[in-house]
Chain A
Amino acid sequence: LAKTTQPISMDSYEGQEVNITCSHNNIATNDYITWYQQFPSQGPRFIIQGYKTKVTNEVASLFIPADRKSSTLSLPRVSLSDTAVYYCLVGDPLGGGSQGNLIFGKGTKLSVKP
């Protein structure tokens, strides 16, 4: 099971681009990288998923280098409503971790200030 390492917290200001990097040195060949967002007292919400290179959707971009030992979630022009905890997970496609369940770390607490 690939372990992930993320910064515990990050601060930003409205309108800035935020990049959160996750390390996963032991990622397996079949593993995908998935990011979830969680607001207080709510369940995690899927943001983006990728295998290699770059993935972009309406919310974020995910950059994955060739060696896949790390990944960077990029949030363009953040707003106050992006204040949340962001989790990086490594495992089976579309959210499944080892043996079919998701393994969460402590995540990165992003605080966006006005």
Chain B
Amino acid sequence: DAGVTQSPTHLIKTRGQQVTLRCSPKSGHDTVSWYQQALGQGPQFIFQYYEEEERQRGNFPDRFSGHQFPNYSSELNVNALLLGDSALYLCASSLGFPERVYGYTFGSGTRLTVV
């Protein structure tokens, strides 16, 4: 049973560019959340998708956007990249929304470096 799969594993981009990160949730899960983790910090919640809609959003600018597809996979898009966007981007999948959220499973993340 595959867990959460993220691609690519590493990425280097230039300031001002745009990037798309991808996530396939664990089999049976229907909810996808994205987190940003800067070096030495805990993961910070970006947003959560369920039924192809953004349901929750953390304190991140509109440059961060996402999408969820009918097969529950998801994309995270970041526009106009800044040096401060360099981080490990984590995808977590779970089952159920909003009353009960069962068993978060995290992927290994995408390491984004902005130069």
Give residues of chain A (72-108) contacting chain B, Cβ–Cβ below 8 Å: 87, 92-96, 99-107
> How many residue-residue contacts, CB under 8 A, span A and B?
69
Query: With A and B bound together, what is the CA distance between A46 and B55 in angstroms?
Result: 23
Query: With A and B bound together, what is the CA distance between A93 and B55 in angstroms?
Result: 19
Which residue on chain B has the smallest CB distance to residue A106? B42
Q: Which 3 A-B pairs have the closest CB atoms?
A: A43-B106, A96-B101, A104-B42
Chain B residues within 8 Å of chain A by Cβ, number: 31
**Interface SS of B by simple majority:** strand
Query: With A and B bound together, what is the CA distance between A95 and B56 in angstroms?
Result: 16
List residues of chain A with CB under 8 Å of any chain B CB. Answer: 41-46, 87, 92-96, 99-107
Q: A42 to chain B: which residues have CB within 8 Å?
A: 106, 108-109
A102 touches B33 (CB 8 A): yes
B108 touches A95 (CB 8 A): no
Show 14 A/B contacts (Cβ-Cβ < 8 Å), sorted by A. Answer: A41-B108, A43-B92, A44-B43, A44-B106, A46-B105, A92-B100, A92-B101, A95-B94, A96-B100, A100-B55, A104-B35, A104-B43, A104-B44, A106-B41
8 Å CB contact of A41 from B35, B100, B111 = B111
Which residue on chain A has the smallest CB distance to residue B88? A41
